Amino acid sequence: MLAASVGSWAQSTPTAPTLSTVTVKESAEVQSKDTLRVKKTTVGKSNQDIRNIPQSVTVFTEKLMNDRNQDDFRDVLRTTAGVTFQAGETGEEDVRLRGFSLGQAGDIYTDGMKDAPLYERDTFNLDRVEVLKGSASMLFGKGSTGGVVNQVNKAPLLIDQHEISYTLGTGSEHRLTGDFNLKTGENAALRLNAMVHNSKNSGATQDKRGIAPTFAWGIGTRDEFSIGLYYLDVQGRPSYNSPWIASNGKIVPTLPAKNYYGLNSDHLNTSSQYVTLGHIHRFSDGGELQTRLRHGQYERDLLASVIRFGSPITALDQINASTPLTRSSKGRIGDSTMTQLQSDYTNSLNLGGMKHDILAGFDYYHDDANRNSNYANATGNSSATNGLITSVGTPNNSAWAPDTRAPVAYNTFKAQNIGLYAQDTMALSSTVKLVGGLRYDRFKATYRNANGSLGDEVSDGLWSPRVGALFQPDELSSYYISYGSSFNTSADTYQFGSVSASTGSLADTPPEKSRNIEIGGKWELFERRALLGVAAFYSEKFNERNTDPDNPGYLLSGKRHATGMEFNLAGRLTPKWEIFMNHTWIPNAKIDKSTVVLATNGGGAQVQGDRPGLTPKHSGSLWSTYAVTSQVRVGAGLTYRSGQNPEGSRAMEASGFATADAMVEYSINDKTSIKLNVTNLSNKLYADTLYRGFYGAGAPRSVQLSLKARF
């Protein structure tokens, strides 16, 4: 975890060589808990001003997440422009950004370090969420074409500051969180965040417990240390999916979003626990070396019901309370142990009469994972005799299926990666800067099937460049152009797989490669209270894996691209009026090359010339609040996506949707407030996650009342 508040401590040379501390030069800007706008971000592996990053960056602050009651990390992703979700067959997050897969959440990070894709995430310990659009490039190397998501954990501050919040909501929701920051010494502090959450949701239950203490000492001195622990346990019963019907090429959602049709024996249990050791050494010349070591364990156990109609349904008017539903079993289980080490050196130097902002470092991770992606219940198949057929009119009917699964047989996956990188931002003049960076990754992995019949190894070494130019004519504006590349190995989903048991291994296929070209600008507006960003981008995966139509195996023969624009606005338009907006427009996206053969009926998977699945033309969110009086604040927002195809169903399209949210907050005094939130005001039924044949419904209307106290 971060050892100190991001952007809180600007350092300079000690006043005397005998002193052991580095004195604070001036009071740098501290990221407030009460703003939607940020000036600095750590998504670039150093504490940078957003205007100096030649790519689109969207930041969700703690205030924004609190205003919208986004306690589930997926709620943040849903309001991120360009993000869509595949309703994966095994229930894990399969996130797309600009239409490109994040590798089943493989491109989600915590404090710049790789996060495991296994567990259900909560926002109780997050200071902010940073989304970097475009190729991961020299920052992360192995990663998504569309971008990466970085979660920033809360860190100790040199103040006494505490906050408790309780929320009561529909679905029998009870949520209690606490954020306690205690200054324990002249340069030491302890921060503890904790959470308890219970909800029933008409049968789809969720019980969460989380705690995250971090202790830091030497804050702001020459040597700063920290130790942080994180524990999150989630026990629940998932509403896995619902069947859609087709009407004139349109996907029509069918079942009420609030209804639970699974079994009481279904469950989705995940856990995450890790420890992070941090050290920052500040050199007398202004340089800084930050090192973090993290070791964690992550687990996931899913046993869910696949809901289907018991008889053919072709129109909504054929569905009534007595329409039969079948429930078959789907299961997945896995665990992962990850060890990571990362060290970054930053400094500003004057060389050759020019200023150079230097970043250099390395990162290493070792992942030891066990998976069984088909760990279903043998007695979970629907039949008329086992009681697993229900009806539309009888949700949450308490049916139970005994767990007859055999002892788990794991596929094993072991991977390690070491990355070396360096970047220089060189000021040619007071207005022009050049950015150049390069990264080298060495990736090794081994995979073995549970029965030992198939074992594979892969070893890749790849370079990832990043170049850009910045033109900053004044302190309020910045214009840029950038190019970056990244790659995806054949092991992105914790398996190499095969076309047959003996040939066609993905391990024999080199990594996919991608590139991103972006041109844009960022402007500080409204007396520097708000930041606007506009960019045009071209993202391309130019050697995508395709199956070989002539031989068992894979070819790097595919190619796809997405061209569009990004819009970001965050901050205060007036002292009373705040706004957050992010929008992605992708007018042109295409599968340029593919070996996929068009199905005889014209349906099936996307083929060459098609728009890729899960790539809507428009997506994003808007949130705005206004202080009516010194005690009353109101807010409203929209989340929207235009129409999109599921992957594997080229002839079908899910209609676009927009949902509206509202909030009103009353400050009882300067430390206590009460807030009412209503999400999905119209109770709209829509497909939030998509797959061929089924969908995951967006959350129905909910009402939440929250009481917050600071002391």
Which residues are paired to 458 by β-bridges? Answer: 445
| pLDDT at residue 385 in the model | 47
Q: Could you give the CA distance from residue 97 to residue 75 in angstroms, rounded to a whole number?
A: 15
CB atoms within 10 A of CB 231: 15
| pLDDT at residue 595 in the model | 87
Average pLDDT over residues 151-180: 97
Backbone torsions φ then ψ of 317, nearest 5 degrees: -70, -5
Q: Give tens-digit pLDDT for 38-83.
A: 989 998 788 899 999 999 999 999 999 999 999 999 999 999 999 9
Q: Could you give the CA distance from residue 340 to residue 576 in angstroms, rounded to a whole number?
A: 44
Q: Give tens-digit pLDDT for 398-433.
A: 998 888 888 999 999 999 999 999 999 999 999 999
What SS3 class is residue 650?
coil
Categorize the per-residue pLDDT at 496 as very low, low, confident or very high, splitting at 50, 70 and 90. low
Q: DSSP class of residue 680?
A: S
Segment 447-454 long-range contacts (CB within 8 Å, at least 24 positions apart):
447/411, 447/412, 447/413, 447/491, 447/494, 447/495, 447/496, 447/507, 448/411, 448/412, 449/411, 450/372, 450/409, 450/410, 450/411, 451/409, 453/501, 454/498, 454/501, 454/502, 454/505
Burial class (CB in 10 A: 0-12, 13-18, 19+), 657: middle
CA 435, distance to chain mean position in Å, is 26
| pTM as predicted | 0.92
Say whether pLDDT at 99 is over 80: yes
Q: List the chain domain ranges.
A: 40-710
- Asked if 393 contacts 321 with a C-beta cutoff of 8 angstroms, the reply is yes
Question: Which residues make Cβ contacts (< 8 Å) with residue 317, sequence separation at least 6?
Answer: none
Amino acid at 402: P
Q: Does domain 40-710 have CATH number 2.60.40.2230?
A: no
Backbone torsions φ then ψ of 508, nearest 5 degrees: -85, 0
| pLDDT at residue 20 in the model | 45
| pLDDT at residue 492 in the model | 64
Say whether pLDDT at 108 is over 80: yes
Question: What are the Cα distances from residue 4, in Å, to 44, 154, 218, 219?
Answer: 17, 9, 10, 7
Q: Give tens-digit pLDDT for 280-323.
A: 999 999 999 999 999 999 999 999 999 999 999 999 999 999 99
Categorize the per-residue pLDDT at 24 as very low, low, confident or very high, splitting at 50, 70 and 90. very low
Q: Give tens-digit pLDDT for 204-248.
A: 999 999 999 999 999 999 999 999 999 999 999 999 899 999 999
| SS3 of the chain: helix, strand, coil, percent, to 5 | 5, 55, 40
What is the bridge-based pairing of β-strands 83-86 and 94-97?
Answer: antiparallel
Q: Could you give the CA distance from residue 340 to residue 277 in angstroms, rounded to a whole number?
A: 11
Q: Give tens-digit pLDDT for 449-486.
A: 887 766 778 888 989 999 999 999 999 999 999 999 98
Q: Could you give the CA distance from residue 296 to residue 339 in angstroms, rounded to a whole number?
A: 7
Average pLDDT over residues 688-696: 92
What does the block give as tokens for 292?
Answer: 């973090």
